[in-house]
Amino acid sequence: MFIETFDPIRRAAFEKLGSNFTDIPHHLLVCIFQDVTASFPIADGHWSVSDNELANAITIAEQSCQWSYQFEKILKLIALIIGVPGNLMAAVVSFSMERSPTIILLIALSLGDLITVVTRALIPDTYNVAVEVFKRTIGFYPNAVLVLICFERYMAVSYPWHKKLFFTTRNTCLLLEALLVLYILVAMFCYFITTEVHVEIYLLSLIISFCLFGIPCPFLMTFNALTIKKLKQMTAIQAELHEKKDVRSTWSKNESSTTLMILIASVVFVSLNGPLFFVSVTWFLVETIWAGENIIVRTKVDFMLTITYWLTFMHHSINFYLYILGTRRFRKRFFYILKQRRFNLLVERFTLSRPASTVLDTTMDSKLYSFDIPQRDSSTPQIVKTASNSESRLPEPMSSFSRMLNGVLQRSHSTSV
């Protein structure tokens, strides 16, 4: 709830509640005020209910808010532990692959998930409209990027030539910029409806969950369904032609691997984001139709809303692990990077741990293990080979010049005699 959007009557009631319960932390006080205000009407700066009923409602709301806050801390910590390194590694592995429109989209998805995790977890609750709207809607951008990847996969499977013409590197970057502009418009709409229209918190939650899930989900499910249908048709055609899987080209295998990876990420997206949308709809019905002044039902639905909200937060933390478990290509690339990095670290440690003189000598292996073969005939220059280096080198120019000079002097001496 955003305190700065309160009218004077609600602000006076909130200040009165804070003066009566000074031992309750501010974030819990805001949560309690939200539940109590939604259950009992306010008149002249106080609730039109008896003191006993108000005290009972505050106790129930405080317990529910404490449970919500504890679960929020646990899920936030888990998301930070697995989300930050996971999204960083996903971006690193994607950067190491050959640059293509699909890889550019995967990089944008990984960075968007990373920004979402860090923003939601590290920015504290300020109860400022702009900050809170930014925190709650930041997940729209990676969700929109995931929809764009699903569309790209559908084009790659169904219309590969059209996909190559449309999804160029330049067009992909332009689409990502357009999605960023779309996210800014969504955030501005949520800010406007909060500050100007003064909607209730449950309606704002429904609007935000609709932006995060309701808008991307139909497109996501449509593109994935069409992609799966096309893959089944291609599998049936290959079976009729008696083609073996081993005969397929490397490009076809990579395309199938990437498509499978995105399908797994889409299924997890629907599984973790769907509950927030349905609980938001339930909360809207509870607030407007069913509950009335039932504080118990209201607090239970509020607790479920908190849990489902942080489940959507978890979705932005586990995509990297889905890539590792789901596709062999991504997994092999990840372990290859780890192996190369480990080898470089071992070489660096070994070099730094040795004395400076030893390090200097080891850098000149070609001189330590080179043995020049003496030449018997000086008139015919021969190629000298070394034991440590297979490359050939000619005799030194100064030695041949000295031999030529000695020959001239000997001839002149013989003629004079």
307-339 per-position pLDDT tens digit: 888 888 888 898 888 888 777 778 888 888 888
Backbone dihedral region of 85: left (phi > 0), alpha (psi from -120 to 50 degrees) or beta? alpha
Residue 65 lies in a domain: no
Q: How far apart are CA 351 and CA 358, in angstroms?
A: 9
Distances from the Cα of 94 to the Cα of 39, 331, 396, angstroms = 50, 11, 50
Which residue would you say has higher pLDDT here, 134 or 350?
134
Q: Angle, to 10 degrees, between the axis of helix 169-195 and the axis of helix 201-209? A: 170
Query: What's phi and psi for 283, nearest 5 deg?
Result: -65, -40
Residue 310 lies in a domain: yes
Percent of the chain that is helix, strand, coil (3-state, to 5): 80, 0, 20
Distances from the Cα of 312 to the Cα of 81, 113, 163, 308, 385, angstroms = 16, 11, 31, 7, 67
Contact between 283 and 308 under an 8 Å Cβ cutoff? The reply is no
pLDDT of residue 99: 83
DSSP run (H or E) holding 210: none
Nearest one of 37, 32, 30 to 59, comparing CA atoms: 32
- Coil, helix or strand for 43? strand
In DSSP notation, 379-415 reads SS---B--SS----BPPPHHHHHHHHHHHHHHHHHHH
Nearest one of 211, 340, 220 to 268, comparing CA atoms: 220
Residue 21 lies in a domain: no
Residue 111 C-alpha from the chain's centroid: 5
Nearest one of 298, 299, 283 to 62, comparing CA atoms: 299
Whole-prediction pTM value? Answer: 0.73
Query: Mean per-residue pLDDT for 239-267?
Result: 69
Contact between 386 and 366 under an 8 Å Cβ cutoff? The reply is yes
pLDDT of residue 356: 46
pLDDT tens digit sequence for 49-106:
677 777 788 888 888 888 888 888 888 888 889 999 999 998 888 888 888 898 899 9
**How many structural domains comprise the chain?**
1
Joined tokens for residue 33: 């005020």
Residue 366 lies in a domain: no
Most confident by average pLDDT, 88-97, 119-128, 230-239, 338-347: 88-97
Write the DSSP symbol of residue 317: T
Which residue would you say has higher pLDDT here, 267 or 283?
267
pLDDT tens digit sequence for 135-189:
888 889 999 999 999 999 899 888 888 888 898 999 999 999 999 999 999 888 8
pLDDT of residue 176: 94
pLDDT tens digit sequence for 377-392:
444 444 444 444 444 4
* Residue 118 CB-density burial (10 A; 0-12 exposed, 13-18 middle, 19+ buried): middle
Query: Mean per-residue pLDDT for 292-299?
Result: 68
Write the DSSP symbol of residue 213: I
pLDDT of residue 411: 56
Expressed as residue numbers, the domain containing 310 is: 78-342
Contact between 312 and 276 under an 8 Å Cβ cutoff? The reply is yes
- CATH code for position 298: 1.20.1070.10
pLDDT band at residue 395 under the 50/70/90 scheme: very low
Joined tokens for residue 280: 């938001």
Q: How far apart are CA 411 and CA 407, in angstroms?
A: 6
Mean pLDDT of the residues in the chain: 75
Hey, how many other C-beta atoms are within 10 angstroms of the C-beta on 324? 19
Residue 386 lies in a domain: no
Q: How far apart are CA 16 and CA 22, in angstroms?
A: 10
Alpha helices in 40-168 (DSSP H): 51-96, 101-122, 129-137, 140-158, 160-166
Lowest-pLDDT range of 179-188, 254-263, 272-281:
254-263
Residue 59 lies in a domain: no
Query: Mean per-residue pLDDT for 226-251?
Result: 70
Lowest-pLDDT range of 22-31, 330-339, 340-349:
340-349
Residue 302 lies in a domain: yes
pLDDT of residue 343: 57
Which residues lie closer than 8 Å to 102 by C-beta, 6 or more apart?
149, 152, 153, 156, 258
How many Cα atoms within 13 Å fall on the side-chain side of residue 303? 17
Contact between 35 and 65 under an 8 Å Cβ cutoff? The reply is yes
pLDDT of residue 181: 93
Hey, how many other C-beta atoms are within 10 angstroms of the C-beta on 10? 16
Residue 115 lies in a domain: yes
Query: Mean per-residue pLDDT for 229-257?
Result: 68
Q: How far apart are CA 247 and CA 314, in angstroms?
A: 39
Contact between 125 and 72 under an 8 Å Cβ cutoff? The reply is no
Hey, how many other C-beta atoms are within 10 angstroms of the C-beta on 395? 15
